[in-house]
Amino acid sequence: MENQQTFSIIGNRRNKSAVEKAAQGIFTLCAFIAILAVVSITVYMVINGTPALFSVGIKEILLGTSWKPTAAEPSYGILYVILTSIVGTTLAVLLGVPIGLLTAVFLAETAPKKLAAVVKPAVELLAGIPSVIYGLLGLMILNPLMYKLELALFKDSETHQFTGGANLLSAVIVLAIMILPTVINISESAIRAVPASLKSASLALGASEIQTIFKVIIPAAKSGIITAIVLGVGRAIGEAMAITLVSGSSVNMPLPFNSVRFLTTAIVAEMGYASGVHRQVLFTIGLVLFVFIMIINISLTGILKKGDKNHE
Amino acid sequence: MNDSIMNGKARISDIIIKILIYISAGFSVILLIGIIGYVFIKGIGSVNFSFLTTVTSTLKKTVGIAGNIVNTLYIIVITLLIATPVGIGSAIYLNEYAKPGKLVRAIEFTTETLSGIPSIIFGLFGMVFFGNVMGFGYSILTGSLTLTIMVLPLITRNTQEALKTVPDSYRSGALGMGATKWYMIRTILLPSAMPGIITGVILAIGRIVGESAALLFTAGSGYLLPKSGMGFLTKIMESGGTLTIQLYLSMAKAEYSTAFGIAVVLLIIVLFINFLTKYLAKKFDVSKVD
C-alpha cells in the first residue's frame, strides 16, 4: 500500500495540501519568533525600567551623581555610570579602530599570502575566546601593571584613591582588544569589495601603493568601515563580564585612573543582591543600555541602506 | 598632493605606514599566542582527572568542575533542540515562501537587531520573562530559553546563506517532476543546505560555551551533578552554572588556580570548535557567514 501512494501524483491531493499548508504555517510561525522576541524584549525592558524613573524621579536618576543604593538614605544617580560607558566606549574605539583598520589593510592589500594565512586565523580565534577569559587575563596581567603605573603617577597626590589597578584605563584596553576582530573582519570585506579598477587607475597615475590605499581604497570603502566602527561601538558598550572585575568596584567620574562602573558592570555586580527600588534602578540602567543599543542598530540599518544605494 | 612621486619624503612616510601596518597585524598574532600561552602555563597544573570528573567539595577539600561541564552540555543540548528547528524554519520561510515586502523586512530587521543586543540584556529579559513571568526561576531551562533567542539569528542566517547557494534548477526540477513544495524542501533543499546548517549549529555551540552574562541571572550557579534516574530530568528545572559562570565566580572569589583551570578547558573547546568549522567549510566549500 505504501508503494502505491508514491506512484500516484494526484492520489492524496487533499491530504497533501493539508501537509503543505501545515508546513507553510509552521515556517511562518518560526519566522515570527524573531519579531516576537524583539517586541517582548522591548516591552519588558520598558515595563521594568520605567517604574524607578517615576518613583525616584527622572532627573534624580539620570542626572544624579551620587550612587548609594544601600545607604540608609539611598540615592540612585547614574550619570557617572552613563558617562563611564560613553567615555570608555569612545576611548576603546579610538584605540581599537586604528589597529583594526591597519590590520584589515594588511589582510586585504599588503600581506604576503603566507603571513595572511597566520594573521587571519589568529583574528578569528580572538573572536571566539570567551569574554570571561579576557576578564581573567585583564585582572591578572593588566591590573598589576596599572597599579605600578598608578603608584608612580600619584606618588605625591594626597587626594587620589588608589584602586589597585582596577580602573577605567584597564577596562578600555580590554574593550579595545575585544572589538578588534569585529573591526578587522568587517573592514577587510569592505576593502576587498572596492573595485580593482580604482586601484589600478590610481597606481597607473603614479601613486604609491600606500597612497592608493589611504587616498583611494579606504575612502571608497568608507561605508563598510563606518559599519565596522558602529558594530565595534555596539560590542564595546554591551560587554559586561570581561570588564566587571577589571574596571573596579565603585561609581566614580570616568577619569583614567578612577575605579568605575559601566552600565553593564553595574548590573552584573549588583543584580545578585539588589531588591526593591535598587533592583528597579538596575533595570533602568538596563533600559538606558537598551536605548543606546537600539540607536546603534537603527543607525546601522540606515548606513547599510545608504551603502546599498551607493552601489546601485 | 604637491608631492611628486619621486620625492623622497613621500617614500619615507610610506615606509613608516607600512611598518605600522605590520605592527598592527602582528599585534593580533602576538596577543593570541600570549593569551593561549599564559592561560595554559597558569592553568594546566590545575587540570587533572579529579578536576574534570568530580564536583567541588569543601568537606574533602577538593576542587572539581564535573557539574559545570554537565550543566554546559545540558544547556547546549536544550538550546539547540529548540533553536535549530526554529532557526531553520525561519530561514526556509524567508528564502522559499516569503514574498519581498514589509513583513520580510520586519523579520530581517528584527533578526539583525537580535544579533546586536548585548548578552546582559538577554540576561535581564530572560530573568524577568522566563524566570519570573513563566515561573521557571533560576534553572537550566530558563538559561536555555534565553540563549535560544540569542543564537537564533546565527542559525537563521547560516541556513539562509546555505539555501541561497542551492541552484534554482534543483527547485524547478523537483517541482516540475510533481513533487510538492514541502517534499522538495525536505528531500532536496535541506540535504543540499546541510553543511551550512551544521556550520551554523557549531557556531551556536561556540557562542553558548563562551556565554556568561546572559546566564548569570537565568541559569544561576549550581555546581552539583544531577542525581541518577529521574534526577537527569529534574535537573532541567534546577539551577546550573556553566563553565564560564564558574570561572567568573572563582575569579571573583580570588580562586585563581580554579579559574585558570577552567580557562584551559574553555580554550581547548574553543580551539576545537574553530578547527571543526574550518574543516567543515573546507570540506563542503560553503561560504561562511559571520
Judgement on whether residues B29 and B120 belong to the same structural domain of the protein: no
**What is the spatial distance between Cα A50 and Cα A133, in angstroms, rounded to a whole number?**
34
Angle between helices B243-252 and B190-210 (to 10 degrees): 10
Mutate to test the interface with A, among B105, B111, B120 (most CBs of A within 10 A): B120
pLDDT of residue B149 exceeding 50: yes
Reported confidence tier of residue A312, pLDDT bands at 50, 70, 90: very low
Distance from CA of B131 to the nearest CA of A (A): 13
Alpha-carbon B48 to chain mean position: 26
Mutate to test the interface with A, among B113, B187, B290 (most CBs of A within 10 A): B113
> In chain B, how many domains are there?
2
Query: What pLDDT is recorded for position A196?
Result: 93
**What is the spatial distance between Cα B156 and Cα A117, in angstroms, rounded to a whole number?**
29
What percent of chain A stands above pLDDT 90?
Answer: 71
Query: What pLDDT is recorded for position A71?
Result: 87
Query: Within a domain: residue B2?
Result: no
B95-143 pLDDT, tens per residue? Answer: 999 888 888 999 989 998 999 999 999 999 999 999 999 999 999 999 9
With beta carbons less than 8 A apart as the criterion, state whether B245 and B147 touch. Answer: no
Flag whether residue B41 sits within 8 Å of chain A, measured between CB atoms. no
Reported confidence tier of residue A5, pLDDT bands at 50, 70, 90: very low
The C-alpha cell 549588583 sits at A270
Residues 6+ apart with CB under 8 A from A259: A161, A163, A166, A167, A247, A248, A249, A250, A252
The C-alpha cell 570588564 sits at A243
Would you give the DSSP letter of residue A68? Answer: E
Judgement on whether residues B29 and B64 belong to the same structural domain of the protein: no
Query: What pLDDT is recorded for position B3?
Result: 53
* CATH code, residues A58-311: 1.10.3720.10
Assigned C-alpha cell, A304 = 547599510
Query: What pLDDT is recorded for position B289?
Result: 44
pLDDT of residue A4 exceeding 60: no
Nearest of B147, B154, B155 to residue B213 by alpha carbon: B147
Judgement on whether residues B39 and B63 belong to the same structural domain of the protein: no
Query: What pLDDT is recorded for position A161?
Result: 80
With beta carbons less than 8 A apart as the criterion, state whether A26 and B186 touch. Answer: no
Judgement on whether residues B131 and B34 belong to the same structural domain of the protein: no
Query: Pairing mode, if any, of strands B55-57 and B62-65?
Result: antiparallel
**What is the spatial distance between Cα B28 and Cα B34, in angstroms, rounded to a whole number?**
10
Reported confidence tier of residue B160, pLDDT bands at 50, 70, 90: very high
Query: What pLDDT is recorded for position A249?
Result: 81
Judgement on whether residues B13 and B116 belong to the same structural domain of the protein: no
pLDDT of residue B288 exceeding 50: no
**What is the spatial distance between Cα A146 and Cα A149, in angstroms, rounded to a whole number?**
5
Residues in chain B closer than 8 A to A294 (CB atoms): 113
Query: What pLDDT is recorded for position A185?
Result: 95
Query: Within a domain: residue B290?
Result: no
Q: Report which of residues A157 and A214 the model is more confident about.
A: A214
State the Cα angle at A176 between A271 and A248, rounded to 5°: 40
Judgement on whether residues B158 and B119 belong to the same structural domain of the protein: yes
Assigned C-alpha cell, B95 = 528564502
Query: Within a domain: residue B1?
Result: no
Judgement on whether residues B229 and B101 belong to the same structural domain of the protein: yes
**What is the spatial distance between Cα A214 and Cα A210, in angstroms, rounded to a whole number?**
6
Mean pLDDT of chain A: 90
Q: Residues 172-231, chain B: which have Cβ within 8 Å of A?
A: 178, 180-182, 185, 206, 209-213, 216-217
Judgement on whether residues B95 and B170 belong to the same structural domain of the protein: yes
Q: Tell me, what CATH number does B146's domain have?
A: 1.10.3720.10
Judgement on whether residues B208 and B66 belong to the same structural domain of the protein: yes
Judgement on whether residues B19 and B121 belong to the same structural domain of the protein: no
Nearest chain B residue (CA) to A20: B182
pLDDT of residue A11 exceeding 80: no
B229-250 pLDDT, tens per residue? Answer: 788 888 889 899 999 999 999 9
B56-69 pLDDT, tens per residue? Answer: 887 788 888 999 99
pLDDT of residue B286 exceeding 70: no
Query: What pLDDT is recorded for position B69?
Result: 94
What percent of chain B stands above pLDDT 70?
Answer: 94
Alpha-carbon B18 to chain mean position: 36
Q: Which residue range is the domain that position B30 belongs to?
A: 8-46
Query: What pLDDT is recorded for position A12?
Result: 59
Judgement on whether residues B19 and B157 belong to the same structural domain of the protein: no
Of B110, B153, B266, the CB nearest to A130: B266
**What is the spatial distance between Cα A305 and Cα A153, in angstroms, rounded to a whole number?**
48
Domain limits, chain A: 2-49, 58-311
Of B18, B92, B251, the CB nearest to A27: B92
Residue B6 CB coordination number (10 Å):
8
ipTM of the complex: 0.90
Of B20, B93, B270, the CB nearest to A129: B270
pLDDT of residue B290 exceeding 70: no
Would you give the DSSP letter of residue A246? Answer: T
Judgement on whether residues B110 and B16 belong to the same structural domain of the protein: no
Alpha-carbon A17 to chain mean position: 46
Residues 6+ apart with CB under 8 A from B194: B162
Of A208, A210, A268, the CB nearest to B213: A268
Reported confidence tier of residue A308, pLDDT bands at 50, 70, 90: low
pTM given for the model = 0.90
Q: CB B113 to CB A297 under 8 A?
A: yes
